[in-house]
């Protein structure tokens, strides 16, 4: 029997932050958490879009507790401002869903000088998690969910040139960022255990889900998505399973069960050897601390 959202307990009294929650998988994750009576914070870069998402959730669930706080993961200044705003309003955090992402844009650097996919998909979330750790650590049974992808298998991590100063490949940069998210999820869990904290770090991927993410993909490929992939609502289920599943342990990775993990019911899945390389994960952690200036669980 696979996990379904009906297996999840009521979330009354709990609070979740979801990055990139105005659309796609983040929106569907927020909607289902709100349906379970979780207080949901939509952490989005565009407040007009996030207010629109809030109104859509309230239209479907008029009693939902939904809040919008601005967060641009492409900017460490914005990440710090988000944490400051959140911490002034709340002193606990049950679920941090590191969902926001971009895929295969033209080359650009963030205001901090990071390749944009590494900045948005990974480094912004690394900093966000570290700055929110004090709240997570004091909230019993809290979890951090990091979104990876089948694309984590596309490449290794380019320690010598992580920002693609030489020879940008938008595909490799996306694969690298999603590998980093998965290495981070596992390393974070190891460090949480070593520190004796009860927070779990887990990872999830949605297979192939019909969202806006593929806007930079060749049209011919996106036309195939409905044939092999699944809806955004179905794609959000591995994230929800990772966040709420009672049989989930720290360090688990969840994804769809069928068609090479491209679609289907959420189950625990495996990942490649590079994602599980502990020496590389430690190196990535230290590199991320130096890049972001956010140091934790050292």
Ligand X SMILES: NC(=O)c1ccc[n+]([C@@H]2O[C@H](COP(=O)([O-])OP(=O)(O)OC[C@H]3O[C@@H](n4cnc5c(N)ncnc54)[C@H](OP(=O)(O)O)[C@@H]3O)[C@@H](O)[C@H]2O)c1
Q: Under a CB-based contact definition with an 8 Å cutoff, are residues 50 and 20 in contact? A: no
H or E, element range at 233: helix 232-235
Where helices occur in 70-201 by DSSP H, the ranges are 76-89, 116-117, 124-137, 170-194
Q: Per DSSP, what are the bridge partners of residue 113? A: none
Q: Per DSSP, what are the bridge partners of residue 145? A: 97, 202
Return the active site residues: 174
Q: Which is nearer to ligand X, 98 or 139 (CB)?
A: 98
- If one asks whether residue 23 binds ligand X (CB under 6 A), the answer comes out as yes
Footprint of ligand X on 235-254 (CB under 6 A):
235
Q: Is 181 helix (H, G, I), strand (E, B) or coil?
A: helix
- Number of chain residues interacting with ligand X (CB under 6 A): 32
- If one asks whether residue 100 binds ligand X (CB under 6 A), the answer comes out as yes
Choosing from 18, 101, 185, 199, the residue that interacts with ligand X (CB under 6 A) is 101
Q: Is 209 helix (H, G, I), strand (E, B) or coil?
A: strand
End-to-end CA distance of the chain: 40
| Residue span binding ligand X (CB under 6 A) among the ranges 3-11, 195-203, 209-217, 271-279 | 209-217
| Residue span binding ligand X (CB under 6 A) among the ranges 58-66, 80-88, 97-105, 187-195 | 97-105
- Per-residue x/- track, 38-67, ligand X (CB under 6 A): ------xxx--x------------------
Length in residues, the chain: 298
Q: Which is nearer to ligand X, 139 or 208 (CB)?
A: 208
Query: Distance (Å, rounded) from C-alpha 195 to C-alpha 201?
Result: 13
- If one asks whether residue 72 binds ligand X (CB under 6 A), the answer comes out as yes
> 154: which DSSP letter?
S
Choosing from 11, 74, 172, 275, the residue that interacts with ligand X (CB under 6 A) is 74
The dihedral region occupied by 118, where left means phi > 0, alpha psi between -120 and 50, and beta the remainder, is alpha
Choosing from 8, 14, 24, 133, the residue that interacts with ligand X (CB under 6 A) is 24
Choosing from 38, 40, 41, 102, the residue that interacts with ligand X (CB under 6 A) is 102
We find the least distance from the C-beta atom of residue 129 to ligand X, in angstroms, to be 14
Query: Distance (Å, rounded) from C-alpha 125 to C-alpha 132?
Result: 10
Q: Which is nearer to ligand X, 139 or 236 (CB)?
A: 236
Q: Which is nearer to ligand X, 80 or 282 (CB)?
A: 80
Count other C-beta atoms under 10 Å from residue 295's C-beta: 12
- Per-residue x/- track, 148-167, ligand X (CB under 6 A): -x------------------
User: How many alpha carbons fall within 13 Å on the CB side of residue 59?
Assistant: 6
List residues near ligand X by CB under 6 A: 19-20, 22-26, 44-46, 49, 71-74, 99-103, 120-121, 147, 149, 205-206, 208-209, 211-213, 235
């Amino acid at each position: 029997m696979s996990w379904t959202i009906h297996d999840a307990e009521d979330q009354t009294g709990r609070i979740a932050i979801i990055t990139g929650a105005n659309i796609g998988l983040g929106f569907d994750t927020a909607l289902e958490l709100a349906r379970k009576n979780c207080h949901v914070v939509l952490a989005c870069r565009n407040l007009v879009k996030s207010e629109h998402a809030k109104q859509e959730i309230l239209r479907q669930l008029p009693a939902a507790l939904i809040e919008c706080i601005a967060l641009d993961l492409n900017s460490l200044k914005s990440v710090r401002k988000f944490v400051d705003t959140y911490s002034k309003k709340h002193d606990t955090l049950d679920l941090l869903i590191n969902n926001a992402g971009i895929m295969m844009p033209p080359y650009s650097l963030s205001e901090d000088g990071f390749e944009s996919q590494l900045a948005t998909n990974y480094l912004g979330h690394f900093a966000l998690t570290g700055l929110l750790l004090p709240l997570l650590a004091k909230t019993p049974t809290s979890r951090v969910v990091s979104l990876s992808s089948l694309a984590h298998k596309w490449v290794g991590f380019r320690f010598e040139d992580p920002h693609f100063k030489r020879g940008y490949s938008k595909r490799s940069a996306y694969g690298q960022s999603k590998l980093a998210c998965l290495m981070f999820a596992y390393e974070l869990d190891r460090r949480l255990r070593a520190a004796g904290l009860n927070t779990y770090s887990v990872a999830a991927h949605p297979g192939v889900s019909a969202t806006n993410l593929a806007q930079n993909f060749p049209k011919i490929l996106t036309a195939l998505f409905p044939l092999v992939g699944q809806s955004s609502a179905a794609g959000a289920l591995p994230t929800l399973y990772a966040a709420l599943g009672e049989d989930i342990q720290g360090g688990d990775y969840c994804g769809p069960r069928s068609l090479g993990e491209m679609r289907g019911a959420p189950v625990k899945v495996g990942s490649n050897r590079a994602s599980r390389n502990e020496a590389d994960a430690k190196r990535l952690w230290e590199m991320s601390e130096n890049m972001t200036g956010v140091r934790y669980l050292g």
